[in-house]
Amino acid sequence: MESISMGNTYIALLRGINVSGQKKIKMAELRHVLEDSGLKNVKTYIQSGNIVFDSEQADKKILQEKITATIRQDFGFDVPTLVINGGGVKSILEANPFSDEAEENKLYYVLLKSHPKEELVKQFNTLQFEHEGFHISNACVYLFCKNGYGKAKLNNNLIEKKLGVEATTRNQKTMLKLLEMTLG
């Protein structure tokens, strides 16, 4: 069996599955259908749609489309999918402006599928949220939620609407675990 280098290990983040009984997907079934579609060494982490896999395909957009199409075909619904590699996750984690001042359970990452328009970022930066800090980069909106994400006004839906991009949110623990999974 041919070995695949770390450069070909990716993370797919699915948005909105297994939430409140909606878009239910069992992780064992998901691993199976993704391997049948040609992805290799498919692993999942928790039930919220975190997938680590290897692929010889280097174009993340093609991989996103492949995963979305496979889920549509096998499970019958559309799921927004974002693909990133371990290096991308590492860069996002290292660039977190809140990592020194916040406990791990207050840090969240809203990963952006595309770069937001500069004018929308400027408008967004004028907003203020009590007990919530944020910083916008091209790949991620970093959140520091002093009272936790569950009570936050600044959430994935609001960010998508205000910045005009698809996004999906993960907490610090999940991001660290996904990075670890890409390393071995």
Q: Which CATH number goes with the domain that contains 37? A: 3.30.70.1280
Decide if pLDDT at 166 tops 50: yes
Q: What is the pTM of this model?
A: 0.90
pLDDT digits (tens, 9 = 90+) for 30-60: 999 999 999 999 999 998 889 999 999 999 9
Q: Which CATH number goes with the domain that contains 172? A: 3.30.70.1260
Point out the domain boundary residue: 86, 121, 136.
86
Point out the domain boundary residue: 42, 57, 86.
86
Q: In whole angstroms, what is the distance from residue 69 CA to residue 64 CA?
A: 9
Structure tokens at 179: 């990075």
pLDDT digits (tens, 9 = 90+) for 64-120: 999 999 999 999 999 999 999 999 999 999 999 998 877 888 999 999 999 999 999
Among 26, 168, 27, which residue's Cα sits nearest to residue 84?
168
Decide if pLDDT at 5 tops 50: no
What b-and-e string marks burial along 150-167, b requiring 16 or more CB atoms within 10 Å of the CB?
eebebbbeebbebbebeb
Rounded to the nearest 10 degrees, the angle between the axes of helix 27-36 and helix 60-75 is 120
Point out the domain boundary residue: 86, 103, 129.
86
pLDDT at 151: 86
Radius of gyration of the CA atoms of the chain, in A:
16
To the nearest 5 percent, what fractions of the chain are helix, strand and coil? 40, 25, 35
